[in-house]
Amino acid sequence: MKQPLIALALVALAACGVIVLNSAFIVDQTQQVVITQFGEPVGGPLKEPGLRWKIPFIQVVHYFDKRILEWDGYPSEIPTLDKKFIWVDVTGRWRIDDALKFLQTMHTEINAQSRLDDIMDGITRNFITRYRLPDIVRSTNRILEEKVYGEGEDVVEEGELESVEVGRDRITRQILDTARNILKDYGIELIDLRIKRINYIQSVQLKVFERMISERKRAAETLRSQGQGVRAEIEGQKEKELRRIVSEAYRKVQVLKGEADAEATRIYGEAFSQDPDFYAFMNTLERYPETLKESRLVLTTDSDFLKYLKKVKTS
């Protein structure tokens, strides 16, 4: 019969299949592996993706991610150098650089995450407590510089605006460098580290709000009084302008009249001085009818008008 033969062939085939499946493995583009033989690492970490072979059953493959991995710390309450309590939340990006070392020291990624928490928390704490709050919040002194040529309309002068000596950028870089050196021993390359969030703790926040409110109120008062000030200025300007206009007009009027009077006087003088006597005679005569109304006249007969009443012939 053929049947036992076929069965035997099938068993052999299955056995071959198991062996092949156990000796071949795939390294994904996103992965790297370490092979161990009875727990002892064989060769270096494999980073090249593709189909790989190993000794079946004896060698074990440990897979690790090759990509950039996330790490997001818990926020921790840290006092700054100037005794302000803040929440600092740090996030970082890392990569398994030396998979063998990583396998030996961390074993799994979950373990590594919690170790990162511990290490980073300590380092962050060390550095944050070393600096004042403005240094941690700001990177540059731009605010101070801009204030100089700002419009200054409602900028409230603040005693607290100290200048920044180190700045957030450099503090985070210091934390990064320190952590990077420590993590090297674990086969981890720390690629980046950033302060994700900084916030005041609740009680400080309330105080800050109070300060903000009082600052705003001060700004509002300043604005109002600026308004009053400008109004007074405009009113003063108005008063001044008004007086200037009126007095200038008065001066011009007087000058115009004076010039006209002078001209008239000159004209009269020029004309009348031709014969002052005749002028006096004529002008006097002209004025008699107006000025001598309703008066009583006593004349003697030797006046020019009546002299002929007394005698015709004058000598």
Map the footprint of other proteins across residues 264-303, applying CB under 8 A. Answer: 264-265, 267-268, 270-272, 274-275, 278-279, 281-282, 285-286, 288-289, 292-302
Instruction: Based on the shown chain and the rule CB under 8 A, indicate whether residue 85 belongs to the binding site for other proteins.
Output: no
Cα radius of gyration rounded to whole Å, the chain: 55
Window of 6-14, 34-42, 53-61, 113-121 that interacts with other proteins by CB under 8 A: 6-14
| Region 12-51 residues binding other proteins, contact defined as CB under 8 A | 26-31, 48-51
Contact between 173 and other proteins by CB under 8 A: the answer reads: no
Binding status of residue 54 toward other proteins by CB under 8 A: no
CA–CA separation, 246 and 259 (whole Å)? 20
Cβ proximity to other proteins: between 40 and 294 the closer is 294
Out of 196, 207, 280, 308, point to the residue binding other proteins (CB under 8 A): 196
Closest CA to 76 of 169, 180, 201: 201
Report the C-alpha gap between 200 and 89 in whole angstroms: 12
Location of structure tokens 């161990």: 36
> Interface with other proteins includes 234 (CB under 8 A)?
yes
Of residues 91-110, which lie at the interface with other proteins (CB under 8 A)? Answer: 91, 93
- 97 close to 65: Cβ distance less than 8 angstroms: no
User: Residues near 92 by Cβ (< 8 Å), separated by ≥ 6?
Assistant: 71, 72, 73, 116, 120, 176, 179, 190, 191, 192, 193, 194
Under 8 Å between Cβ of 73 and 149: no
Q: Cβ 40 to other proteins, closest distance in Å?
A: 25
Residue of 47, 56, 221, 308 that binds other proteins (CB under 8 A): 221
| Contact pick of 305, 308, 313, 315 for other proteins (by CB under 8 A) | 305
**Residue 37: CB minimum distance to other proteins, A:** 22
**Binding status of residue 185 toward other proteins by CB under 8 A:** no
118 forms part of the interface with other proteins (CB under 8 A): no
CB 170, CB 138: distance < 8 Å: no
**Measured CA distances, 131 to 82, 192, 209 (Å):** 8, 21, 23
Q: If phi over 0 gives left and psi between -120 and 50 gives alpha, with beta otherwise, what is residue 92?
A: beta
Residue selected from 67, 107, 173, 207 as contacting other proteins according to rule CB under 8 A: 67
Q: How far apart are the first and last CA of the chain?
A: 204
Contact 29, 50 (CB under 8 A): no
Sign of the alpha-carbon dihedral angle for 260, 264, 270, 273: negative
Check if the beta carbon of residue 194 is closer than 8 Å to that of residue 91. yes
* Contact call for residue 219 and other proteins (CB under 8 A): yes
Contact pick of 98, 128, 131, 138 for other proteins (by CB under 8 A):
138
Taking the least distance from each CB to other proteins, the nearer of 185 and 286 is: 286
Determine the interface stretch with other proteins among 98-106, 112-120, 178-186, 243-251 (rule: CB under 8 A).
243-251
Q: Which is nearer to other proteins, 40 or 280 (CB)?
A: 280
Shortest reach from residue 128's CB to other proteins, in Å: 13
Residue among 78, 96, 168, 190 that touches other proteins (CB under 8 A): 168
Interface mask toward other proteins for 145-164; x: CB under 8 A = -xx-----xxx--x-xx---
**Size, binding site for other proteins by CB under 8 A:** 129
Query: In the chain, what's the furthest Cα-to-Cα distance?
Result: 204
